[in-house]
Amino acid sequence: MQKRIKTLIKKIAATEFVRTAIEEQADLSAFKEKPSLQVIVGVLLICIASLLGWPAVAVLGVLAVKFNEPLLVVIGGPLVYGFSHLVFMFGMYFSGVKYTIIFFRWLSRVTVEKISPWANREEV
């Protein structure tokens, strides 16, 4: 089992993504920079999506009970929740793509650097 894990680690370390992250010493310095307007808009969209999601479905549920109209929840709930999910995805796209790649490059570099000595060690 350990041999398979070591082989997998070596294959991961050989990928171009991990090799370039190690060669370029990928770090998290980009998080120190002032966020761009695109990132701010993305975070704002994520906040709006959080307010639209379950709270809106809960309000529809209360209104459905008050007006004795179950279709408010049956039809409106999935529509409102689906719309909030789309808003959340747009927010993640605007704010997250750049920083997600930066984070995963750093994480890949650090992880492979820490476990490579173990994977390259010969067991006696």
Domain boundaries, the chain: 2-28+35-120
Of 79, 94, 101, 104, the C-alpha closest to 46 is 94
**Contact in structure between 42 and 87 (CB atoms under 8 Å):** no
How far apart are alpha carbons 47 and 55 in whole angstroms? 12
62-113 pLDDT, tens digit per residue, is 999 999 999 888 998 889 989 999 999 998 888 877 788 888 899 989 988 8
pLDDT-derived band at 35 (thresholds 50, 70, 90) equals: confident
Amino acid found at 67: F
pLDDT-derived band at 5 (thresholds 50, 70, 90) equals: confident
